[in-house]
Structure 1
Amino acid sequence: MSAAHLVLDLALTIRHDGRGGVADDLDAPEGLTRWVAEHREALAAAGASLDGFAADAAGLTAVRELRRAVRALFARAVRPGEPSPADAHRLLPPGEAVARLDEAAAHVPVVPRLTWPGAGEPQVTYAPAAPAAHVGLLTAALARAAMTFLASPDRARLRACHAPRCVRYFLKEHPRQEWCKPSCGNRARVARHHERHKP
């Protein structure tokens, strides 16, 4: 999983709840513990080996604050388009969002490690320069993934989905893609049809 997909998956923990509202997959420490388990390999590649990770309230708050910074910078990245309606009314100022990423990334310095298995290709991974707490490893890895993505050409493909009730960001995969997934496209077409045929 690339840095883009890791940080996009973090942003997508805020989603439509299916009933007209917004759901947060990180609403409790158990949600963060589950999310980390699902992303263990990508986090390890980003320098955060989190075997046995169990989130607590402080860790949850740290990750949610980092996610808030990421979503604010995603909103900036999609300009002149509109940001996700989930947080358009409560975005952090861009300077504050960048400062949060910088601060989180600096918590755990990393060093590159080269591995080269006998029959395989060499790979560079990143490991903490010194022992660090799980939550520090997690937020630092996520902040660095966000920085890598936002400074990459992939940032130009980032879009906010504006289908009815959707609050997701997505990477535009082809020129005609307007929504994050086909079901959002269907909802948007149905909404346009109803709007045109209103009495």
Structure 2
Amino acid sequence: MAKTESGERPRPPLSGEPLALDLVNTTFIQGGLRGSLVDALAVPADLDLWLEEHAQALPPEPARPAAGPATASHLEEFRRLREALRELSRACVAEEPYGEQPVAVVNRAARLAVSWPEIGDGAAGGTAAGAADGPVVRWAESDPLMVLLGAVAVSGVELLAGPGRHGVRACAAPGCILYFVKSHRRREWCTPACGNRVRVARHHRQRRS
């Protein structure tokens, strides 16, 4: 378990899914069917840790180190996006129409990821020497952490409005609330641990019968 300002906190048991689902999966049940709900984004330091863990999947935002740690406002925005993505994931699995409110939350957040390339300041003055390192990326949103929020929202749009939505699954293990993209035909569980737990429970039932 990683240490944050909130002390030692358990990490989500599943990662490596699309960013949107990894955010959704920051709430999970620890302890199986009779376990307790855990929120891995309880304080702003937890959000900093989650962003650090997903740095490779997020846009390389050079201004972020100077932006300082996440604030309570940042945490609130990420949790609002998480709630919307969880509802859309649920509707996707259930093959229900997406609700207007969660769609609006995700779409609004996705606009924060707007960026464009520019020629860097060093190339001004009629020389190409300053352009040797390639274009400079500019972001419409000035807050780097909100840019990252937008990137997670874009991941959700691409997944839940694209062909990948057909692979979104809710873990079939009783008591589990995690989502994943079905990576192979026989995958039913978010992690092997959930599959093992189901098989052990099934074995005990068969022995009692």
TM-score by structure 2 length? 0.72
Alpha-carbon spacing, 1:194–1:4, altered in 2? closer, same or farther (3 Å): closer
Supply the distance in 2 between the matched residues of 1:43 and 1:76 (Cα, whole angstroms): 26
In structure 1, distance between residues paired with 2:141 and 2:78: 20
- State which structure, 1 or 2, has the greater radius of gyration over its C-alpha atoms: 2
What is the CA-CA distance between 1:161 and the residue it aligns to? 0.6
Deviation of residue 67 (structure 1)?
0.5
CA displacement at 1:164 relative to structure 2 = 3.0
- 2:109 maps to what in 1? 104
Structure 1: gaps spanning 5 or more residues: 82-92, 115-124
Higher alpha-carbon deviation: 49-58 or 158-167: 49-58
SS of equivalent residue, structure 1 residue 51: helix
Give the CA RMSD over aligned residues: 2.9
Q: Which sections of structure 2, spanning at least 5 residues, go unmatched? A: 1-15, 120-134
Conservation of the 8 A alpha-carbon contact between 1:29 and 1:55:
yes
The alignment covers a number of residue pairs equal to: 175
Q: Percent identity?
A: 37
Alignment partner, residue 166 of structure 2: 156
Out of 183, 186, 191, which is 2:196 matched to? 186
Contact map agreement 2:48 2:70 (CA 8 A) in 1: yes
Q: Secondary structure, in 3 states, of the residue corresponding to 2:20?
A: helix
Contact 1:40–1:50 (CA under 8 A) maintained in structure 2:
no
The answer for the alignment partner of 1:146 in structure 2 is 156
Kept in 2: contact 1:158–1:169 (CA 8 A): yes
Residues 89 and 168 of structure 2 are in contact (CA less than 8 Å); yes or no, is this contact kept in structure 1?
A: yes
Alignment of 1:105-144 (within 5 A): 105-111=110-116, 127-130=137-140, 132-144=142-154
CA distance in structure 2 between the partners assigned to 1:112 and 1:67 by the alignment: 29
SS at match of 1:159: strand
Partners of 2:208 and 2:138 lie apart in 1 by: 60
- Taking a change above 3 Å as real, the CA distance of residues 38 and 126 of structure 1, as seen in their structure-2 partners, is farther
Contact 2:29 2:36 in 1 (8 A): yes
